Amino acid sequence: MTGMLKRVYEPALWFAGLLIVWEVLVRAFDVQSFILPAPSVFLVRIFHDFDRLLLQGAITTKLILYGFVAGTIPGVVLGYLIASFRICERLLYPLVVFIQGLPKITLAPLLLVWFGFSDFPKILLTSLITFFPILVDSVAGFKSMDRRHYYLSRSMGASGWQTFWRFQLPSAAPNIFSGLKITIVIAVTVVIVVEWLNSNNGLGHVVLRAMDSHDTPLIFAVLVVASTIGVFLNYGIVVLENVLLPWRRGVEDNA
């Protein structure tokens, strides 16, 4: 228990110290707020604009989750197929490698031309970008199963379904979760960037408007909100992992 408390309050203390130094420096050198606002200024700004940030943050979070789920599920399914069936590997993997080399964020203008002013292109791009890392981790996860586990499952007379649920999926799960933890944060970035390009709401839109009016404290306020969303979503996945994969709790290499 004391260990956990230490894990929380030590970084919190560091963080608070950093903010204080920042505050003192900004005040000492009389830096103007539109260049670098003091923490007190933008933290107060969060409370001042709380309703708006909450609403816009919720809109962005919804897109993040939709895109993330829409990328994750096909990623895991295709990962299973590529790892399990030679024919899928031969047909699909070269294509996957090729598309993976493409900087997918550059597809944003194209998708906006095609699908216009709606949530759909944002969700699509987010799912595309989360899809590939999850796919790669799933392939690695499903391939990590020892060949002799297949011998064991066959000698037990396990059906394909039993082999999948009792051997393959749990074997692949740690890899899949490490992919999820990384891509959820990428998804936050992607949604905000796409909101810059074409949106009349969401945190990306708020940032863009703040930039136009040289409202630097608001930009910082949005940064704080966005990173809070990222931290909570990441934490949500860690909690999910602990619930679904209880054996991982306490395993030393649990990153």
Which residues bind to another protein, rule: CB under 8 A? 146, 148-149, 151-158, 162, 166-167, 170-171, 173, 245, 247, 251
CA 248 to chain CA mean position, Å:
21
User: Which residue, 155 or 200, has its beta carbon nearer to another protein?
Assistant: 155
Which class for 225: exposed (0-12), middle (13-18), buried (19 or more C-beta within 10 A)? buried
Smallest distance from another protein to CB 155, Å: 5
Query: For another protein, which is the closer residue by CB, 80 or 167?
Result: 167
Residue pair 21/14 in contact (Cβ under 8 Å)? The answer is no
Give min distance, CB of 241 to another protein, in A: 12
* Cα 144 to Cα 203: distance, rounded to the nearest angstrom: 40
Kindly tell me which of 70 and 169 has the beta carbon lying closer to another protein: 169
Distance of closest approach, residue 169 Cβ to another protein, in angstroms: 10
R_g over Cα of the chain: 22
Cβ-based nearer residue to another protein, 100 or 162: 162
In angstroms, give the least distance from the CB of 158 to another protein.
5
Q: Which of 153, 103, 166 is nearest to 132 (CA)?
A: 103
Judged by phi (left if over 0) then psi (alpha if -120 to 50, else beta), residue 164 lies in alpha
Which CB atom, from 3 or from 246, has the smaller least distance to another protein?
246
Q: Cβ 72 to another protein, closest distance in Å? A: 20
Name 107's Cβ contacts closer than 8 Å, sequence gap at least 6.
Answer: 125, 128
Least gap, CB of 153 to another protein (angstroms): 7
Which is nearer to another protein, 7 or 154 (by Cβ)? 154
